[in-house]
Structure 1
């Protein structure tokens, strides 16, 4: 009987040490995924701005498409309840995880304007269309849902 009680206590003690470490690893994996998404968008914007000429507003210009996979949660990564994309000098992503904390990643690059000031995505697969345009301040990469 004592062996059974000791085995149960040992199992609980090991689980109490392992579960927080697993949650931290899942949060770190989500942070890496958000950083990868930000890098992909920034790379496409930089490539577009470096290799193409901007067109006046209203005319179809050069485009790039980026697939975005917002993690819904798994045994490997924490789920993201909302991914927000903002522009500026480069791109900024803010991912609110299901467990509460928000992960923010900024990647510099060309001037970026997001349709509607910001884009908000739920977990799942999404496509973005990046278009190079010109405005009074010079070339700008416009990001919008495809």
Structure 2
């Protein structure tokens, strides 16, 4: 009987040490994922800006498509309940983690404008369209959700 009680106490002690460490590792993995998504968007915006010329207003500019996968949670990464994308001089991603924390990553690059001032995405796959445009301030990368119907090539 004493062995069973001691085994249970040992199991509870091990779990008490292991679970917080596992949660911290999942949060770290999510932070890395958000950072890599920000890097991917900034890299696509920089490549588009460097390779193409902005077009006059009213003329469709050069485009790139980027697919972001917002984690919904797993044993390896904490889930993200919402991901907000903002522009400026580069791109900013702010992820609200399901555990309650917020991860913010800002990556410099060309001037970016997000349609609607900010774009909020939930968990899952999201295809974004980056378009090189021109406004009074010069060249700007416009980020918006890509259409997913069959008419888009």
Normalised by the size of structure 1, how large is the TM-score?
Answer: 0.99
Residue 59 (structure 1) aligns with: 59
Where does structure 2 lack aligned partners over 5 or more consecutive residues? 147-153
CA displacement, residues 16-58 of structure 1 (integer Å, 9 cap, x when unaligned): 0000000000000000000010000000000000010001222
Residue 91 (structure 2) aligns with: 91
SS of 2:77 mapped into structure 1? coil
Residue 102 (structure 2) aligns with: 102
Residue 41 (structure 1) aligns with: 41
Residue 6 (structure 1) aligns with: 6
Count of equivalent residues: 146
* 1:50 counterpart = 2:29: no
CA RMSD of aligned residues (A): 0.4
SS of 2:78 mapped into structure 1? coil
Where does structure 1 lack aligned partners over 5 or more consecutive residues? none
Task: Give the drift of 1:97.
Answer: 0.4
Moved more, 51-60 or 82-91: 51-60
SS of 1:56 mapped into structure 2? coil
Normalised by the size of structure 2, how large is the TM-score?
Answer: 0.95
Q: Could you tell me how far apart the structure 1 residues matched to 2:13 and 2:137 are?
A: 61
SS of 2:27 mapped into structure 1? helix
Q: Could you tell me how far apart the structure 2 residues matched to 1:23 and 1:56 are?
A: 50
